[in-house]
Every structure is written in structure tokens, then in C-alpha cells.
Amino acid sequence: MAVVIVAAGSGSRLGADGPKAFVEVEGTALLTHAVCRAVASVDIAYLVVVAPPHHLTEAAGCVAAGIAGVAGPVVDGLVTAVVPGGPERGDSVMAGLAVLPADIEVVLVHDAARALAPAALFDAVVAAVRGGHPAVVPGLPVVDTIKEVDEAGVVRATPVRARLRAVQTPQGFDRAVLDRAHAAAADQATDDAALVERLGLPVLVIPGDLLAHKITTPADLGLAALLLRRGA
């Protein structure tokens, strides 16, 4: 199993001095938090971090620090790579997929911005993929009522809330399916599962985790710090 952590975004909505992946929460970079949890997952053999092109050394430092934060045999034999990302998230995912060894069967794609997603969530996603589902995403029930609007802001539809899920990462895939989905992608999608949906293949949603919340704005950093102080 391989994990691709995409960390090449600028973090414009966070508005920090540098790329979001290197912003610290409780003294540790978001990317380091993400690596530390990903490499604690049971099945991982290969880790690719996709980083901002001018920050590859800094990203490699986060990989080393994240691995150092995990004790035990899980990390033995783990192979890592750091590669430069592209202009859009989808380009960065493809850059990561491009360096995976041929024998990788299951790929998890994870946002560095979901820095506190726990190892158990990685394990649950992998188990569902190995159980026969070609695409698996964690998701949480939506608490707000969601409206679809037109260009003028007028509501066109109100989807039944009970059937909506806010999906997270890590998203897990049969490797061949994910490669095919990205090769066929004519334009960008906001997640990888959407590309698999376009192939007409089923995507399974499993229970997500509050800790996999995406850090997007400064308020999200405050929530992450609170969760860490409570032992996340």
C-alpha cells in the first residue's frame, strides 16, 4: 500500500507567510503531523509527499520528523519520496502517482491540510479497499442544510440532507482504477473519488473522523490546536 500526501498548495485562504504545509500547530508543521499519522498505518510500504517545487528540502525534513515521531517496527522498510507538485491539486496527485513502484496495489491519497487524520482512519480505508471496493472515501453526515444555487444565487434545489456526506481524505483506491481515473480526467475535480465516479465505478463512503477536518482558514488552525491539546 502507498500513501500519497499532497502538500503542494499555497494555502491562500489561510494567508500565512509561506505554504500551508509548513504552518505549525503546537510547534509542529502540518505536513509533519500528517506524515506521523500516515506512517503509523499498518499496511504502508511507500510514502510520497508532493511538495511546493521550491520547498522540497523543507518537505523532506517534515518526512524525517514525522517518521521519527513514530516508534516501532511499522516504519521499518518504509520507502519515501518527495516530488514537486503542479498548479492544481489534481496535477499534484498525478505527480505523486507517477513515482509509485509497479507492485503497489492500493493507493491512499491524502491532503496534508487534513493533518490530524488518525492512523486508524487510514487502516479503515485500506481494509475497505482490500475488501473489494475499488474506491473508498471517509465522510461525515452534513449538519447544515445544503442548497444548490444558480449564478444569480437563486436556489435551484435542496438535496435531502440525510443522504449527504462531507467527504474527507485519505481516499483509498485500487491502484489500476486510480491510474485510469486520472488518465481519463479531462478537467480538474475537487477530489479523486469524483474522477472514479466519472468512470462509472462505485465509490463507497465509510465513516469519517472529526480529526480529518481540513485546515483551510485561520479558525481551523485554532480548532486543530485545541484537538491536539486534548490528545489528538
Q: Interface with Mg ion by CB under 5 A: which residues?
A: 9
Nearest to 33 by CA among 45, 21, 43, 44: 21
Instruction: State the nearest-atom distance from the C-beta of 95 to ligand CTP, in Å.
Output: 8
Q: Which residue has the cell 494555502?
A: 11
Instruction: State the nearest-atom distance from the C-beta of 13 to Mg ion, in Å.
Output: 7
216 counts as binding ligand CTP under rule CB under 6 A = yes
Which H or E run contains 96? helix 89-97
Which H or E run contains 219? helix 218-229
Whichever of 86 and 118 has its CB closer to ligand CTP, that residue is 86
Whichever of 130 and 214 has its CB closer to Mg ion, that residue is 214
Bridge partners (DSSP) of residue 28 are: 25
Whichever of 8 and 133 has its CB closer to ligand CTP, that residue is 8
89 counts as binding ligand CTP under rule CB under 6 A = yes
20 counts as binding ligand CTP under rule CB under 6 A = yes
Task: Tell me which of ligand CTP, Mg ion, none is bound by residue 87, counting a contact when its beta carbon lies within the kind-specific cut-off of 5 to 8 angstroms.
Answer: ligand CTP
Q: Which amino acid type is present at position 102?
A: A
Whichever of 11 and 170 has its CB closer to ligand CTP, that residue is 11
Instruction: State the nearest-atom distance from the C-beta of 190 to ligand CTP, in Å.
Output: 8
Decide: 225 and 156 in contact? Cβ < 8 Å: no
Binding residue (CB under 6 A) for ligand CTP from 2, 3, 8, 62: 8
Q: Which of residues 43-62 bind ligand CTP (CB under 6 A)?
A: 50
Nearest to 167 by CA among 119, 125, 217: 125
> Do strands 148-149 and 171-174 pair parallel, antiparallel, or not at all (unpaired)?
unpaired
Instruction: State the nearest-atom distance from the C-beta of 93 to ligand CTP, in Å.
Output: 7
Whichever of 165 and 214 has its CB closer to ligand CTP, that residue is 214
The 8-class DSSP code of residue 31 comes to H
47 Cβ partners below 8 Å, 6+ apart? 2, 3, 5, 35, 38, 39, 63, 78, 79, 80, 81
Instruction: State the nearest-atom distance from the C-beta of 155 to ligand CTP, in Å.
Output: 26
182 counts as binding ligand CTP under rule CB under 6 A = no
Whichever of 133 and 221 has its CB closer to ligand CTP, that residue is 221
28 counts as binding ligand CTP under rule CB under 6 A = no
- How far lies 1's CA from each of 14, 133, 174, 179, 201, in Å? 31, 15, 10, 14, 21
21 counts as binding ligand CTP under rule CB under 6 A = yes
> Do strands 46-51 and 2-6 pair parallel, antiparallel, or not at all (unpaired)?
parallel
Phi, psi of 179 (to 5 degrees): -60, -45
